Structure 1
Amino acid sequence: MSAVSTVTDTTPQLSHRLTAARLPRWAPAGIAIASIAVGCGIGAAAGLKSHLQWGLISALLFLLVSYTVSAAVEGRRQARDRFATSLIWVSFICAVVPLVALTFYTVQQGIGAISPEFLTHSMKGIAATLSPDGGIYHAIIGTIEQVLLATLIAAPIGLLTAVYLVEYGRGRLARAVTFFVDVMTGIPSVVAGLFVLSLWNIALGFQYSGFSGSLALAILMMPVVVRSTEEMLKLVPNELREASYALGVPRWKTILRIVLPTAVGGITTGVMLAVARITGETAPVMMLVFGADFINSDPFNGPQQSLPLYIWQQYSQINNDYGYQRAWGAALVLIAFVMGLNLIARGIARWRSPKGGH
């Protein structure tokens, strides 16, 4: 009986010892609020004018206080775990805050320029520095056509290249293709523009046009499509392929009917990321499209405008308050355009996903 009583007496004590030393759930939030208050106070007392410096001081205080309090109450092992968690949250906030601030500032500066006239008129016959009139309709048309042409060129080539690398590629050729795709991923946009300018415009004699810019944008887009599609195809379980082969289905039909529909969500997302990457490119458009202040709906004939080039042209003029406002308005439209593309991609991915109906 004494042994039994000893066990029964010791078990609650061990359980109490393991669970008692814990910070309350509100402790991280409370420490964060206190760190922000103290950090702002230190920044104000030190005369620091930048709120970014105040935020960095608050983040460092949060990490230090979180570890110290947790070590005193919960022990060093749990304190290290909380410190890692706090560091992840601080890193997340440091990544999100600039994006939110950029979006908020763009909306704040550009919302005043948005109007039906701004979206439906061009800059033809408008003195940019003397008149608040004019719009971005010609730039919107040019951007849509150039990005669409680049996507029609790069997406099929990138998709087929990724299918080759995953399903067929073996040996030196596959390694060479992978190497050059990785190299192309880091090519600056100005280099792609110079290549197309030298080959297409100078060597072959074609004129400045939206299509010339689309060729350079396609070069920048292609490696992104290849790498993202390749990773999505690798995630497709091999059991699906083997089951299809066991039923006597040819490889090409297995890829077309099984592999691609399974990975279509990730492929679509990768293509949209590539589109978002090229939508804001300015250097290739500046060299190849040349820009225009009038509406040109034919991307194969004559100079054409685009939103990134329009923003640069309007903002680069000295002492031009009207141009600054138009530039911020165009930047807001460009951000909305990219966000719309991402929403469309999510809709397509959810619609075409095999799990969408369950």
Structure 2
Amino acid sequence: MTTPSDITIVNPRIDADTAAVAEPPAEVLPAGPQPPAAGRARTVIPSAEGVEVGEKRQLHVSTAEDRFNLWGALAASAALALLLFGWFAPLTGGVGWAVVAYLGFVGLYALLVSLRSSRQDVADRVMTVLLVSAGVLLFAALVFVVLFALVRGWSALAHANFFTQTMQFAGPLDPLSVGGILHAIVGTLIQISIALAITIPLGVATAVFLNEIGGRFARFVRTVADAMTALPSIVAGLFVYSAIITLVTHQRSGFAASLAITVMMLPIVIRASDVVLRLVAGNLREASYALGSSRWRTVWHIVLPTARSGLVTAVILGTARGIGETSPVLLTSGVTAVLNLNPLSGPMISLPLQVFDFVKSPEPTMIARGFGTAAALILVVLALFFTARLIGGRGPGQLSDRQRRRAAEASARDARRMTETAEQRSNPTLQEPPA
């Protein structure tokens, strides 16, 4: 047990010539009374004799035994599922076979790992398998959706007119070489641009208010934002239809659809931005206040740049929610087959609504156009995602290669300048005569 008499704290030695602080290294002594020496910091560590230290567990290293257990469990589970569904019981394959095979794989893998590992290792390996399986399942579902839309709509996507023409002069019985979705692509871009122009400043400002101001009203706003995240999209469409179209514009338009999309996007952006701004370290704000900066300059120059990548992610989540909405757009924008560039007048169709309009037709060509439109919607979302990532850039503290080179060059210039200044001060003959 370390007592106050075992530790001697002294002031560090200061060299008067260089004004450099030189701290003496701490000397570690075994347990027991030790005579304190002047000018030395002594720390007594209790003896660890008789304490067994186990072998360090390797959590991220894959050995030959681990690979054998993994592939052996996979092969054994597949064989077990085949025996159950093809020999012992008259069961059909499909989802049931996959579920039985997966459960058998997890059980057999845990059994194989437990033969030569501890209980903690078995738990680690099994949880790793479950988490990796969840990631693989999610990625496989995403790839399946994208490939299914591309394959079913490839007959329409293969024609260039599908992206350069509208459906103004094309009917359900016309071939795929006639007509396209240019009006739906333009309508989607106009509607989502208006919605983002309203949502981004309002959502980020609300998140800043929740984090920087706080109070009872902030708790009320956070509760309302949480409740709005579960708001059905049809309710948002009915609200905009009753409040805007019926009372103000008296016609469906792209602007009304943008307002409905904004209602759906705003709570997502507020909550995601709120979580991101909470992650900004408080000592950054305190350092800014200590330097005499005001609250709003701290928010503008410290908090928002630090959380920039997270705020971009919040905007992406809101955009993904709003760009795929169909029911509020159906009530507020209307259906049209012509290109409309004026969001304030006349119907303006979007890609999700165009998919709905195509696939409800029994004609094969219209169904192919519907799947092609769905694939185009996926491509538009991916394009917006990569654009937002380019705008958002890297996280705080992460520099690009060009920024690192510039920082290194600036450091080299500062080092040369400091060296020249030191030489001038040490050699009076090099100093410039006073003016």
Same topology, TM > 0.5: yes
Distance in 2, matches of 1:337 and 1:235, equals: 31
Match of residue 334 from structure 1: 377
Q: RCO greater where, 1 or 2, for CA within 8 Å and sep 6 or more? A: 1
Q: Which one has a larger percent helix, Structure 1 or Structure 2?
A: 1
Measured at CA, do residues 332 and 243 of structure 1 come closer, stay the same or move farther in structure 2, by a change above 3 Å?
same
Q: What percentage of residue pairs aligned between the two structures are identical? A: 35
Distance in 2, matches of 1:165 and 1:202, equals: 34
Asked if the contact 1:23–1:73 (Cα under 8 Å) also holds between the matched residues in 2, the reply is: no
Deviation at 1:322, TM superposition (A): 0.3
Deviation at 1:130, TM superposition (A): 4.1
Aligned Cα RMSD in Å?
2.2
Deviation at 1:228, TM superposition (A): 1.0
CA displacement, residues 299-356 of structure 1 (integer Å, 9 cap, x when unaligned): 11100111001101100012x1001100111111111111122212222222575523
SS at structure 2 position matched to 1:134 = coil
Match of residue 315 from structure 2: 271
Aligned residues: 338
Distance in 2, matches of 1:72 and 1:338, equals: 49
Distance in 2, matches of 1:123 and 1:271, equals: 32
Measured at CA, do residues 182 and 118 of structure 1 come closer, stay the same or move farther in structure 2, by a change above 3 Å?
same
Corresponding position: 1:135 with 2:180: yes
Q: Return the match for 1:108 from 141, 147, 151.
A: 151
Corresponding position: 1:152 with 2:197: yes
Q: Once structures 1 and 2 are overlaid, which stretch shifts more, 51-60 or 193-202?
A: 51-60
Q: Which has the larger radius of gyration?
A: 2
Matched to 1:103, the amino acid is V
Distance in 1, matches of 2:164 and 2:295, equals: 50
Q: Return the match for 1:90 from 97, 121, 133.
A: 133
Match of residue 65 from structure 2: 24
Deviation at 1:34, TM superposition (A): 3.9
Distance in 1, matches of 2:72 and 2:386, equals: 36
Superposed counterparts of 1:249-328, under 5 Å: 249-318=293-362, 320-328=363-371
Q: Once structures 1 and 2 are overlaid, which stretch shifts more, 210-219 or 238-247?
A: 238-247
Q: Once structures 1 and 2 are overlaid, which stretch shifts more, 322-331 or 47-56?
A: 47-56
Superposed counterparts of 1:187-226, under 5 Å: 187-226=231-270
Measured at CA, do residues 148 and 246 of structure 1 come closer, stay the same or move farther in structure 2, by a change above 3 Å?
same
Q: Return the match for 2:206 from 161, 173, 176.
A: 161
Q: Once structures 1 and 2 are overlaid, which stretch shifts more, 204-213 or 320-329?
A: 204-213
Q: Once structures 1 and 2 are overlaid, which stretch shifts more, 266-275 or 26-35?
A: 26-35
Measured at CA, do residues 58 and 190 of structure 1 come closer, stay the same or move farther in structure 2, by a change above 3 Å?
same
Match of residue 274 from structure 2: 230
Distance in 2, matches of 1:51 and 1:353, equals: 47
Deviation at 1:44, TM superposition (A): 5.2
Asked if the contact 1:261–1:354 (Cα under 8 Å) also holds between the matched residues in 2, the reply is: no
Measured at CA, do residues 37 and 135 of structure 1 come closer, stay the same or move farther in structure 2, by a change above 3 Å?
farther
Measured at CA, do residues 351 and 86 of structure 1 come closer, stay the same or move farther in structure 2, by a change above 3 Å?
closer
Q: Once structures 1 and 2 are overlaid, which stretch shifts more, 22-31 or 173-182?
A: 22-31
Corresponding position: 1:68 with 2:111: yes
Measured at CA, do residues 131 and 200 of structure 1 come closer, stay the same or move farther in structure 2, by a change above 3 Å?
same
Match of residue 39 from structure 1: 81
